[in-house]
Amino acid sequence: MASVIAPILYTEAPLNVEPTSAVSTFHISTESPSIFASRKRLRLDYGPAIDQDSFAQKHVATESSIFFRSKEKAPRSILWRVLEDSKVLELQCVDLIQDHRSTQESLLSFRLSFANAIRPNGVALSDSHSHDALEVFVLTTSNELFTFSLRRDLLVRSTAPSSSDFDATTAFKTYALSSFSFRHPYKLVALNDLELLVSLHDGSLLRLERRAGENGSTWRETFFHEGGWGKSLRGLIPWKGQNTVKYGNIDLSAGAAAEVEASPDGEHVFTVSFDHILKSWNAKTGKVGFQIDLMGEERLEGRGHQQYLIGPGQGTLLRVLDVLQKPDGDAYYCVVWSPKSQQFKFWAVRDADSQEYGTRDVQSDVRFTPPLNEFMGTNVWQLSDFDIKTGPGWRDTQLWLSARSGSVLRTFTLTFDLLASADDLAYAWKHQWAEASAGSLSPPRLASLPDHRLLNDTTSDDDLAISASDESLSFLLFPGRFTSDLLETCLIMYQKGIPSTTRSQHKDGSKSFQERLREAIAKKAKGNLAQSSDMASHASQSAKEWREFYGAVKYLHTCHADPISLALDRETGLCWSIRAEQIAPIRTCSEIEVYEHNEDLFVEQDEEWIINSLPLADFLPDDLSLSAARLFAAARSFRFGLSTYLSRSFSDLASTFALRDAEADSTQRSRKGGHTPLYHLYEQCDFAGEVGDDEFARLTESVQELGGLGELENSIFETLLDKLSEPARGQEREQALSRYGDKATIRGAQDTLIRGKETLLDILALVVFMSQDLESEEMSRGFRPMELYSNIVIKIREYDVLLWMASHVRTEQSKARRSSGGESLRSSQAPPPQPTMTILESIFIGDWQSMVFPSEPLSSLLTYWSRAWTFGPNLAVNYDGVTAHVMSNFIKHEDYHLAYQFTRFLPRNSWAAYLKGRLFLGTGDYEYAAASFRRSAEDLSTPSHKKTKPIEAADTANLISATQRELFNAGSPRFYMHCCSLFEAAKLHSHAAEFASLALSELDSDNDDALDSSIMEIDKRKRSMQDSPAAMRVDLAMEEIRLLKVSELKEDILSRFFTNSLQTNHYEAAFSALVKFTNPAIKRSSLTQLLSSLLNSSPSTLLSLPFPASLDSEVDATLLSLARKTLSSTSTTTTPQNIHLLYSYRISRDNYRGAAEGLYEYLQWLKSQASETYNTAHRMNDHSKADVFADEDEEESRLETDLMDTYLLLINALSCCGDEAWILAEPTTGTGMGKRRVVTLEDVRREYQGELDRRSEIAQGRFPLVGLNGDAGAMEVDVF
């Protein structure tokens, strides 16, 4: 048993540092416009890096931290990062939460660029006391001090302002420090927004002051030095034998300040110098008040004594703290770290100006030495950073520190009471430490994921190799895991190994990254194989190429995850880990995370040690927690020992079985003699072949503390299953998530779901093996595997749905983020670009604000709300409703590709069938859409008498409009009309007509013939019930209203059916609807539409339609109107067909006189056309006449033929009229006669004979000089 153990009770939540969008980065250049090289460098910032060096330069910070503003300011948490060879300073708000009443959020990233590099330790930030602004101070290698003032209206923008809205040069001022020509600065510290301190190489301090209202273009310089000008001059000239510390090209004096901090009251400055001395400086006079060794040791003087010097690469050495309820006489405290003694010292400051009475050694009998030798496993380590959040009276004080050994950096924390007894304090500092895990994006954690095992497994079989492409892409493109810039750079580096003849461009805008990566992998794999290679060889080579690509990703990812510093928000107690391209709020572990991170501890340590070990015991809330932890360790070890292929097959089968069995009673199957799902899982995954004697022995040994396999009961499994949820607790808070709060919540949700899914598979694998491999007498009576199976698959299904949503992304369209425009700049801001986010965040992040929260520190709240929000949809209880809500949201926003993937999670009910229909309608699978709508019709049309319709409870995503909802749960006809509307909107008239027909048939089946009689019966009853009771009259009125609504519905259905049938040229169907119309106006207009369509496309169909006698006059009048309209608009080059159809229709109805009237009108039109054709040609000039007369013979021949044929038809029609062979002819146009005249059969025969004679004379060369009608001026001819 190890004497000192730091259990992992905290974990980082790593978040990639990226701009909100492409337009949310505001560049402020301090460079002169004439410096062309600098301007060119800025333009090259866009686009991916081409190799690892350019990637590191562009994205990997060399210095970084978070500045926490005072609690009343917003935004509060400002991340700053030094990039691009120290020539760019990036600023970004990383608040997790903000007041929910705030309508503004900081989404802007600031990039401050410099012509010369920023000095190491040359960045300082401060709040402005005169106005709401962030002051940023930057010291460059050109000895220039830049002062940036970023006001609130600029900080809370979402997009960068244009040059017309904001002049970037007004945001900063420059001051040249001439003193640095002979002194070298080491560290810049901001005491406040008006006072800066610079630690100098010679041991002195430079104070820079400005007055309120001054903008930073001028500063007053004052030098502080403990020994006056003599020593100051000596510091400028290195004397022989003087101790110095080498820092780059500078020799730092032993007395130079390595660390500088101001007192809480601002009256003193404290420094830790390289010679291991703590000094206090009076901020007004510059005099040293006291100076003592960090550990309070006496300094040994003499030539033979080797002076200890702190290295310049050492981390934090000093924190100056104020404490509430501090002991009398203590003003504040200096906490120092001694690299020499490897321990902390707590100095109470009583009088900072007094050497004798200035300090008090708090707990001088206790060695505050963290057991880092044991934790790190080596004595070669260095404390990189530390910070402290004090509690009232030093109670519940929390210390955070990070220690580095080589490339490994680990973070530890300790909660203690500084004023406790010496024994209690010493014990706490020895045994009550806790560690923080590096988080889910750390290389070791990524290596433990199942998908990573596939990428890293060089011995995978053919089946795994074949699926390597999809599995690898899922791993690489998992949201938030790797930045897009990192992946693009890796693709460019990978493509360099592809022959140039087949290499694609670095970034083809027409293709997604996924497509380009697949193409590159395929090309390189193909190039490394022989032409005759089989599919297995190609798959194996492709898997190899995926591993090669991931190698580059892993290398860059390791670089950009390199730790830089810690930052502690003393207001909230939340500690942050700052990395090269990531930040990570450190949250407490959930109980299941404690099980996972401390798996070896629960196996190796005895029960007494665990339950008495603080703070570990505080994370095990009940008596069964330890047993659950040990079961977790045993199940995890058991499944991890199985092959990669079995683990993957088992995971896929478990998910499939969960979707099938989560709602089924699987126990019934076994009672009826069928095999249980546990049996099928055991056989299909070949547990018998995988679990040999060695694996069984290890499993048996791992559960010995639980009494062995034979003592495992359902209760312990159920306890472990209960840890996989997070019940809501606490009260509502007036807070809202900020952008990085969203990201941290999603990161917590993803970690929870991945870890939980693996835990469920671990438990299920153990249950499957025990139930099938052990004899019944070897198992406890309390072990009921099928009950466990039912509980497990319900959770697996829940986790699968949530994990799918947490691992798929879309461009957000449904809602915009909170307004982030500042007051003065809001008018010119364009709407922020729509972000890309996970489905889980996109649909459910709005639920966060309505959650309840316990009264816990922010580090615990982050874990709680991530888990509680993740499980907020409560899929275990409302699976059907939640999945349908998600599907509805996809369809509503036309995310059909996501909806199609999500269909496997949909339940088997009518609403889900309807949603599938909407999906198929959107994707163009119209037959499937129609079939789905028909399947859903029965339930969704069932009338409901409840106040709230079932559709309102089902359609939580508001997919159905309010007017369309009225068609649900109101009978089949109305639901079919809704489906008809959907197809009409999609211009699918055949399917629209189909559903209109279904609606009509359903309505007709409800005794439609009785509708009219019922209305008439009500009219009779109304007349006879004048003196009836009011209740009876009301009932009668309501029945009348119902019948009128049914009649109105029928009219609407008929209209839809008619219109859509007409659109698809189904004239018989349209006619069947037409004859059922009861509204005369609708019937008349519909008849016109039908006849117009028939005349244009299928005239012969008209004669076959059985128009009822009541419609004869309407049809005739309509045909006549259409015929006349045609005669008035048709040119001579076409023959009007409508007049022939009118003639045919009247003949078919034995209306010979009417047919003759129509033909006579047409006859007159033909005569006028012949005359107009001739006159038009005659009026043309000689050059044009040649072209006209070239076609005159053909046109004349057609008109003559039509004219003679019409005469014959007219004569035949009048002949059928018997003794009344006459018609009333309309007056001829242009004759001046205003009355109709009687035209008899003899008149027509006479005209016909005259026309024959005229043609005969013309054929013999004898023709008159007058027109056809005897008008000498009507038709002149040329005589040749």
Region label for 329, one of left (φ > 0), alpha (ψ between -120 and 50) or beta (otherwise) = left
Query: Is the pLDDT assigned to residue 824 strictly greater than 50?
Result: no
CA distances from 1242 to 1127, 1143, 1219 (A): 26, 20, 12
Higher pLDDT, 428 or 815: 428
1276, amino acid identity: E
Answer yes or no: do 1248 and 1185 share one domain.
Answer: yes
Mean pLDDT computed over 627-636: 96
Query: Is the pLDDT assigned to residue 1041 strictly greater than 80?
Result: no
Higher pLDDT, 1020 or 283: 283
pLDDT at 814: 43
pLDDT at 461: 53
**DSSP SS3 for 738:** coil
Q: Is residue 450 part of a domain?
A: yes
Do the beta carbons of residue 752 and residue 590 sit within 8 Å?
Answer: yes
Which of 393, 399, 438, 392 lies closest to 415, judged by CA?
399
Answer yes or no: do 710 and 792 share one domain.
Answer: yes
Query: Is the pLDDT assigned to residue 1187 strictly greater than 80?
Result: no
pLDDT at 393: 95
Q: Is residue 374 part of a domain?
A: no
Q: How confident is the model at residue 358 (pLDDT cuts 50, 70, 90)?
A: very high
- Helices (DSSP H) in 817-857: which residue ranges? 839-844
Segment 532-584, tens digit of pLDDT: 566 777 778 888 889 899 999 999 998 878 899 999 999 999 999 999 999 99
Answer yes or no: do 593 and 698 share one domain.
Answer: yes
Answer yes or no: do 169 and 207 share one domain.
Answer: no
Answer yes or no: do 1238 and 1185 share one domain.
Answer: yes
pLDDT at 41: 40
If you write DSSP's letter for every residue of 492-554 in order, what string do you get?
A: HHHHTTS-TTTPPPS--TTS-HHHHHHHHHHHHHHHTS-TT--HHHHHHHHHHHHHHHHHHHH
Segment 254-311, tens digit of pLDDT: 999 999 999 999 999 999 999 999 999 999 888 999 999 999 988 766 555 678 899 9
Q: How confident is the model at residue 656 (pLDDT cuts 50, 70, 90)?
A: very high
pLDDT at 1179: 56
Answer yes or no: do 187 and 288 share one domain.
Answer: yes
Structure tokens at 249: 């090209």
- pTM of this structure: 0.88
Euclidean distance between CA atoms 505 and 522, whole angstroms: 15
CATH number of the CATH domain containing 212: 2.40.128
Euclidean distance between CA atoms 1122 and 1145, whole angstroms: 13
Answer yes or no: do 1214 and 1229 share one domain.
Answer: yes
What length does the chain have? 1280
1171, amino acid identity: S
> What is the 8-class DSSP label of residue 1008?
T
> Which of 280, 310, 340 corresponds to the end of one domain?
310
Pairing of strands 574-579, 582-588: antiparallel
Query: Is the pLDDT assigned to residue 1044 strictly greater than 90?
Result: no
Query: Is the pLDDT assigned to residue 33 strictly greater than 60?
Result: no
Tell me which range, 472-476, 588-592, 609-613, is most confidently predicted by mean pLDDT.
588-592
- Residues 1177-1210: b if buried by 16+ CB within 10 A, e if exposed: beeeeeeeeeebeeeeeebeeebeebbeebbebb
If you write DSSP's letter for every residue of 222-238 in order, what string do you get?
A: EEE-TTHHHHHHHHHSP
Query: Is the pLDDT assigned to residue 949 strictly greater than 80?
Result: no
Query: Which of 198-202, 242-246, 642-646, 853-857 bottoms out in mean pLDDT, i.e. has the lowest?
Result: 242-246
Mean pLDDT computed over 514-531: 83
pLDDT at 1104: 84
Q: Is residue 556 part of a domain?
A: yes
Answer yes or no: do 193 and 142 share one domain.
Answer: no
Query: Is the pLDDT assigned to residue 825 strictly greater than 50?
Result: no
Into how many domains does the chain fold? 5
Other beta carbons within 10 angstroms of residue 47's beta carbon come to 13
Do the beta carbons of residue 1141 and residue 1102 sit within 8 Å?
Answer: yes
Tell me which range, 157-166, 235-244, 746-755, 1025-1034, is most confidently predicted by mean pLDDT.
746-755
Q: Is residue 934 part of a domain?
A: no
Which residues is 187 bridged to in the sheet?
A: 199
Q: Is residue 903 part of a domain?
A: no
Query: Is the pLDDT assigned to residue 230 strictly greater than 50?
Result: no
Mean pLDDT computed over 1044-1053: 82
Q: Is residue 315 part of a domain?
A: no
For residue 712, give its domain range: 588-870
- Helices (DSSP H) in 685-825: which residue ranges? 687-690, 693-702, 714-722, 739-773, 785-806
Query: Is the pLDDT assigned to residue 354 strictly greater than 80?
Result: yes
Higher pLDDT, 313 or 260: 260
pLDDT at 1264: 59
Can you tell me which residue has the tokens 């026309």?
1251
Mean pLDDT computed over 994-1008: 81
If you write DSSP's letter for every residue of 424-461 in order, what string do you get?
A: HHHHHHHH-EEEEE--TTSHHHHHTSHHHHHHH-TT--
Q: How confident is the model at residue 1092 (pLDDT cuts 50, 70, 90)?
A: confident
Percent helix, strand and coil across the chain, each to the nearest 5: 50, 15, 35
Q: How confident is the model at residue 1027 (pLDDT cuts 50, 70, 90)?
A: low
Answer yes or no: do 551 and 463 share one domain.
Answer: yes
Do the beta carbons of residue 1143 and residue 1158 sit within 8 Å?
Answer: yes
Structure tokens at 669: 């199957």
pLDDT at 262: 94
> Which of 156, 176, 196 corresponds to the end of one domain?
176
Answer yes or no: do 189 and 246 share one domain.
Answer: yes
pLDDT at 672: 55
pLDDT at 819: 35
Answer yes or no: do 169 and 275 share one domain.
Answer: no
Query: Is the pLDDT assigned to residue 1097 strictly greater than 90?
Result: no
Long-range contacts of 430-433 (CB under 8 A, 24+ apart): 430/4, 430/371, 431/4, 431/613, 431/614, 432/614, 432/615, 433/4, 433/6, 433/370, 433/371, 433/375
pLDDT at 40: 37
Can you tell me which residue has the tokens 């009232």?
392
Do the beta carbons of residue 409 and residue 389 sit within 8 Å?
Answer: no
Q: Is residue 1165 part of a domain?
A: yes
Query: Which of 93-102, 710-719, 803-812 bottoms out in mean pLDDT, i.e. has the lowest?
Result: 93-102
Answer yes or no: do 145 and 250 share one domain.
Answer: no
Region label for 84, one of left (φ > 0), alpha (ψ between -120 and 50) or beta (otherwise) = left
Segment 864-912, tens digit of pLDDT: 999 999 999 999 899 999 999 999 999 999 999 999 999 999 999 999 9
> Which of 836, 870, 904 corresponds to the end of one domain?
870
